Amino acid sequence: MVSTVTESVDVNVPISTAYNQWTQFEDFPKFMDGVESITQINDTRTHWVTKVAGQTREFDAEITEQHPDERVAWRSTGGDTKHAGVVTFHRLADAETRVTIQLDWEPEGIAEKVGSVIGADSFQVKADAKRFKEFIENRGGETGSWRGDIARPGA
């Protein structure tokens, strides 16, 4: 059973600011509930530690596509979590950007499967998107940036 969640949030910062902040994976715990830590291994690999509903999980993720001010896509590559996602950035005005998050994941165990059925995963992504908005707007700028381009495999 694959669960898909899509959520959008409009942030009052320029597209490059929103994108740049999203490339700072090690800052995700500041606005993503359940993310304990992310370690950037290299330009395309990260190691995640999450804790949701009392369960700690570790996994690696690979960035499969990344284009400045447009999109960041990834998939898990190891560990006990299977998921993939993409975040896209859409310019609405000079200082307003729509950030759209889409996650595909496989719930494991009864608690995750029930949570997915009742929409707990959608609620979580919506809350994380709102916290990202508050984080970037309150800061007024990004904590860093990585503007590298990673072509989609086979592209």
In a domain, 105, yes or no: yes
Residues 119 and 32: beta-carbon distance below 8 Å: no
Domain that holds residue 80: 3-24+62-139
In a domain, 19, yes or no: yes
Q: Is 109 helix (H, G, I), strand (E, B) or coil?
A: helix
| CA neighbours closer than 13 Å in the CB half-sphere of residue 73 | 10
C-alpha to C-alpha distance for 94 and 16, rounded to whole angstroms: 10
| CA neighbours closer than 13 Å in the CB half-sphere of residue 27 | 14
Q: Is the dihedral of CA 120, 2, 149, 80 positive or negative?
A: positive
Query: Which residue carries 């006990």 as its tokens?
Result: 80
Q: Taking the model in full, what pTM does it have?
A: 0.88
Question: Domain containing 16 — which CATH number?
Answer: 3.30.530.20
Beta bridge partners, 100, equal: 8, 88
How many structural domains comprise the chain?
Answer: 1
Q: What is the chain's pLDDT, residue by residue, as a tens digit (155 residues)? A: 677 889 999 999 999 999 999 999 999 999 999 899 999 999 999 999 988 777 788 889 999 999 999 999 999 997 667 888 999 999 999 999 999 999 887 756 555 555 544 455 677 889 999 999 999 999 989 998 888 889 887 76
C-alpha to C-alpha distance for 32 and 76, rounded to whole angstroms: 17
Beta bridge partners, 5, equal: 103
In a domain, 47, yes or no: no
pLDDT, residue 3, reads 79
In a domain, 51, yes or no: no
pLDDT, residue 63, reads 95
In a domain, 48, yes or no: no
Residues 40 and 28: beta-carbon distance below 8 Å: no
In a domain, 155, yes or no: no
C-alpha to C-alpha distance for 79 and 113, rounded to whole angstroms: 19
